[in-house]
């Protein structure tokens, strides 16, 4: 891999994460993240399933992120090896436990870089049992527009 390609991947990851942070802050919709995927990209989510193509990824991001009021998804670390990217993040719910720690469950994103500022594949890995336990413990209540995967016809 050339030095220029390495910089390209690093720059894309940085911009991708900045866009996620803007979505987290409500400055842009989560569907803005879809622009980082190729037309024929695949996105695999542990709760929602597999989505093929940028248009479907965009709709998935709109549907799946609605009503997650107060949630944030901070990045803990990143590994880039060639065109492969691994991002460790947290699903952080609003509020804190009595000991001051956050209600959160870790997740990992696996991304394949395709070039030209876009990824061809993303797979998110989250222990859904752990996440559901955290949701229960936090007593979080979904916000307006919240959807579950069952409510969305694909």
pLDDT at residue 58, as a whole number: 98
Domain with residue 80: its CATH number is 3.10.450.50
Please indicate, yes or no, if residue 88 is contained in any of the structural domains. yes
Long-range pairs for 19-22 at CB < 8 Å and ≥24 separation?
20/73, 20/75
pLDDT at residue 1, as a whole number: 82
pLDDT greater than 70 at residue 148? yes
Please indicate, yes or no, if residue 153 is contained in any of the structural domains. no
Q: What angle do CA 94, 88, 106 make, to 5 degrees?
A: 45
Please indicate, yes or no, if residue 37 is contained in any of the structural domains. yes
Termini Cα distance of the chain: 38
Task: Tell me the pLDDT tens digit for each residue of 39-98.
Answer: 999 999 999 999 999 999 999 999 999 999 999 999 999 999 999 999 999 999 999 999
Please indicate, yes or no, if residue 56 is contained in any of the structural domains. yes
Domain that holds residue 98: 3-147
Domain count, the chain: 1
Please indicate, yes or no, if residue 152 is contained in any of the structural domains. no
């Amino acid at each position: 891999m050339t030095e220029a390609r390495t910089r390209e991947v690093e720059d894309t990851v940085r911009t991708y994460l900045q866009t996620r942070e803007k979505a987290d802050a409500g400055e842009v919709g989560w569907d803005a993240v879809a622009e980082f995927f190729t037309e024929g990209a695949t996105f695999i989510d542990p709760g929602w399933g597999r989505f093929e193509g940028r248009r479907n990824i965009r709709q998935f991001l709109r549907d799946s992120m609605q009503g997650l009021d107060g949630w944030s998804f901070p990045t803990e670390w990143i590994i880039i090896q060639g065109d492969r990217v691994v991002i460790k993040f947290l699903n952080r719910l609003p509020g804190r436990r009595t000991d001051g720690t956050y209600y959160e469950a870790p997740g990992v994103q696996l991304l394949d870089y395709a070039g030209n500022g876009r990824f061809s594949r993303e797979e998110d890995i989250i222990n859904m049992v752990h996440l559901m336990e955290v949701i229960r413990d936090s007593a979080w209540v979904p916000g307006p527009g919240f959807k579950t995967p069952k409510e969305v016809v694909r």
